[in-house]
Amino acid sequence: MSKLKSDPFSAREAQQYEQPIQSREFILAHLMDRKIPLTEEILAEELGLSTDRDREALRRRLRAMERDGQVVRNRREGYGLPKKMDLVTGRVTAHRDGYGFLAPDGGGVDLFLHASHMASLMHGDRIMAQVVGVDQRGRREGALVAVLNRAVHKAVGRFLIERGASFVVPSEKRLHRDILIPAEHRGEAQAGQIVMVEILEQPTTHRQPIGRVVEVLGENLAPGMEIDIAIRAFELPDTWLPEVEREAAAFSSEVLAKAAAGREDLRTLPLVTIDGEDARDFDDAVYCEPEGNGWRLLVAIADVSTYVTPGSALDQEALNRGNSVYFPERAIPMLPEVLSNGLCSLNPGVDRLCMVCELHIGTRGKVRAFRFFSAVMRSAARLTYTAVAAILGGDVDLRQQYSSIVPHLLHLHSLYKILRKRRDGRGAIDFDTLETRIVFGEHRKIERIVPVIRNDAHRLIEECMITANVAAAEFLTSYRIPLLYRIHEGPDAAKLDKVRQFLGALGLSLEGEDDPQPKDFAKILAQVEGRLDAHLIQTVLLRSLSQAVYSPENKGHFGLAFDSYTHFTSPIRRYPDLLIHRAIQHVLAGKLPREFCYSNIDMARFGEHCSMTERRADDATWDVVSWLKCEYMQDKVGEEFDGVVSSVTAFGLFIELKEIYVEGLVHITSLSNDYYHFDPIHHRLTGEHTRHIFRLGDPLRVKVVAVNLDDRKIDFMPTGATIHDEKRKEPKKKISKEKR
């Protein structure tokens, strides 16, 4: 028997290649069994690859695996496993001060990267590093071994000339090194102008990156231009390739009869979509009815997988984008409009293909059974959160307008209350964070910044989607098919120790010893409800948790308190959801897991990439919103506002202004009449002689003294403060019955 036949993924490889060799999984397993690095020649011999064509295929596969960080080639040309060499692969997060962190693929504790290792790196680079020790602050420290993929190919910044040398200072401050521009690559750029540059040579330990000016954007940014800058600065794909447009143009505007054939018909069922007022694509619809002593819930999700097939131009572009990006009053969709706003959008009154999760839920919120199936539906109404909240609140006019579906909305609300109780019972962490929305006037001038108020309609849909996502994770896990989990890990030991010290100083204790559970965090939040420092405590707990990522390795979701969780409900705007739909379709077709077109290795690559595109979207959005807020504050220099300390650092206090929700910095040098020292455990600055304290969550009145659009910075100066005496003891707060 040949080695190829013993490869469990040989059928998949045979579908993808005319003359397949062993899969990546098989090669990795072989290296694990052999327990030593093997050269290309030895591997070829042991795998039974004798022809020149097969050996060339192996060479290319090993190079690709090396680029993806799956194997490492040592100085003796032997290929080994990174974990066996104590190596970590991941993506770099750079700090403007020169140091950085490595976020490991698939989650885990970050590695600290000293400035000497960051000298040849840029923000977002994917690298392989070796753990070399622990620094004085208890952080694992890494040393650069190899750069796997460069992230920055273009940058936006201000073009400057000093002593005859020209360079660009990037707008993105995590690009911590200026980009040198040789004279022959200046183009038409003039000193002081904002330009876009192409990186010609990446940085090295002894040299800055070198670039070429490819576009002059002007002296200052016009309204609306901040989004164009962010698109360029963060290299967001925003145009469709010709082959993508050709595939999109082939779709009709309506669901074809043959596409609906063989599906369950839900067109008479009053499924409804519930979204925000400004939503344009609708990828989820819900329906609920009583069933015995429980409930039957249907969560219908747009069937994107039928239209976007693996390997197509649409699929490759969707993967490249990873997700849709939402800016104020503008979006960059993951899929072309004919799909995102057309065939895949569950618009009211038209036939649409969908993937349905049917859930049977008991009176205490436990899912008794569930199933997935393909269907055709017709949305009964496009509802908004505001309208549904009003209907639930008894609005007579709206109840009359939607009289045919009001009973179903009331059933949904009743089910939500039960699901909410179960959520609280399992100890899911419910942080009360504030989101804002920018309201524009004429000429895209900001009129005001308003908070987004969450109501029961928001929470209702959230619980329905979470329940369906959990079912999808359990369903695919039971079939042992490769999938992407949405994982969220709890605090590491170092962060946990700091949290305990912080809480201890406030007379609080986090239960769970060395392994606290979500319910232990939730218990703390319940205990401090109503206290003046509740916001401070919540902020510290929130910042102790890891960032959620996508991974084929199931590590659970700490925040939601689930052992397994995935994303199933938004395939129009998130690529991981599309992958989950394909896996479900594969199982429903009766096919075996090893016949699935993706492997766990593929999922690891998808997870790392989609986690990156998600962070990229967040960073780009933050950059735009920060610029807009700076523009909004330009004509308010000299004015005074009431604010709250939102963050405490060694160099000063970040203040969020009340009612207008803009953040700026009070530099430590603006705190007069004393030397102030930073206490990172208790998140405060303490005066050396006066013992005056500035803490996270404190109110502070400030004056706007400067606004810098280029740096997205607003500088404040305190005009008055609520100052705490270090010797003063906080009285114990009693939580009123109304707030329990």
In the structure, what pLDDT confidence band is assigned to residue 432 with cuts at 50, 70 and 90? confident
Contact 280, 326 (CB under 8 A): no
Secondary structure letter of residue 6 according to DSSP: G
Rounded to whole angstroms, the Cα distance separating 337 from 281 reads 9
Cα diameter, the chain = 83
Res. 11: pLDDT tops 80? no
Instruction: Choose between 710 and 328: higher pLDDT.
Output: 328
Res. 723: pLDDT tops 50? no
The token pair at 61 is 């596969």
Polymer length of the chain: 740
Query: Residue 293: left (phi > 0), alpha (psi -120 to 50), or beta?
Result: alpha
Residue 310 CB neighbour total at 10 angstroms: 13
Rounded to whole angstroms, the Cα distance separating 193 from 217 reads 7
The CATH architecture assigned to 4-82 reads: Orthogonal Bundle (1.10)
Query: Would you state the torsion angle of the CA atoms of residues 597, 321, 468, 280, taken in this order, to the nearest 10 degrees?
Result: -130
User: Can you give the three-state secondary structure of 121-135, one letter per residue?
Assistant: CCCCCEEEEEEEEEC
The CATH code for residues 154-219 is: 2.40.50.700
Can you give the residue ranges of every domain in the chain?
Answer: 4-82, 86-149, 154-219, 242-485+561-623, 637-725
DSSP character string of 654-683: EEEETTT--EEEEEGGGS-SS-EEEETTTT
**CA 355, 360, 365 angle in degrees (round to 5)?**
120
Q: How far is CA 38 from CA 27, 33, 69, 70, 81, in A?
A: 11, 11, 16, 14, 10
Across residues 341-347, what is the average pLDDT? 94
Closest CA to 311 of 16, 726, 662, 640: 16
- End-to-end distance of the chain based on CA atoms, in angstroms? 68
Rg of the chain on CA atoms, in Å: 28
Closest CA to 558 of 418, 428, 413: 428
685-692 — which CB contacts under 8 Å span 24+ positions?
685/648, 685/652, 685/653, 686/726, 691/725, 691/726, 691/727, 692/723, 692/724, 692/725
The percentage of the chain sitting over the pLDDT mark of 90, rounded to a whole number, equals: 56
Res. 536: pLDDT tops 50? yes
Rounded to whole angstroms, the Cα distance separating 668 from 660 reads 23
Can you point out the beta strands (E) in 135-193? 140-149, 154-162, 165-170, 179-180
Residue 400 CB neighbour total at 10 angstroms: 9
**Per-residue model confidence (pLDDT) at position 74:** 82
Res. 143: pLDDT tops 70? yes
**Per-residue model confidence (pLDDT) at position 297:** 98
**CA 118, 120, 121 angle in degrees (round to 5)?**
60
3-class SS at 309? coil
Rounded to whole angstroms, the Cα distance separating 209 from 121 reads 10
Rounded to the nearest 5 percent, the helix, strand and coil shares of the chain are 35, 30, 35
Secondary structure letter of residue 341 according to DSSP: I
Across residues 645-670, what is the average pLDDT? 91
Contact 549, 613 (CB under 8 A): no
Mean pLDDT of the chain: 89
Instruction: Report the DSSP pairing between strands 100-104 and 330-332.
Output: unpaired
Tens-digit pLDDT profile for residues 210-266: 999 999 988 766 666 888 889 998 999 999 999 999 999 999 889 988 889 999 999
Res. 729: pLDDT tops 60? no
Q: pTM for the full model?
A: 0.85
The token pair at 281 is 């694509």
Residue 131 CB neighbour total at 10 angstroms: 14
**Per-residue model confidence (pLDDT) at position 736:** 36
Contact 186, 166 (CB under 8 A): yes
Contact 487, 550 (CB under 8 A): yes
Can you point out the beta strands (E) in 469-578? 485-487, 549-551
Res. 296: pLDDT tops 60? yes
Residue 379 CB neighbour total at 10 angstroms: 23
Rounded to whole angstroms, the Cα distance separating 524 from 503 reads 9
Tens-digit pLDDT profile for residues 633-646: 999 999 999 999 98
Q: Which of 47-61, 63-77, 116-130, 159-173 shows the lowest mean pLDDT across its residues?
A: 63-77
The CATH architecture assigned to 86-149 reads: Beta Barrel (2.40)
Across residues 145-173, what is the average pLDDT? 90
Fold match flag (154-219 vs 637-725): yes
The token pair at 561 is 């308190």
**Per-residue model confidence (pLDDT) at position 221:** 66
3-class SS at 378? strand
The percentage of the chain sitting over the pLDDT mark of 70, rounded to a whole number, equals: 96
Rounded to whole angstroms, the Cα distance separating 66 from 403 reads 61
Q: Which of 30-34, 417-421, 477-481, 724-728 shows the lowest mean pLDDT across its residues?
A: 724-728
CA atoms within 13 A on the CB side of 506: 25
In the structure, what pLDDT confidence band is assigned to residue 704 with cuts at 50, 70 and 90? very high
**Per-residue model confidence (pLDDT) at position 222:** 67
Rounded to whole angstroms, the Cα distance separating 642 from 276 reads 30
Q: Name the one residue in this structure whose structure tokens are 């030895």.
A: 42
Secondary structure letter of residue 557 according to DSSP: B
The token pair at 58 is 């192996």
From the candidate CATH numbers 2.40.50.140, 3.40.50.280, 2.30.30.90, 3.90.1150.10, the one assigned to the domain spanning 637-725:
2.40.50.140
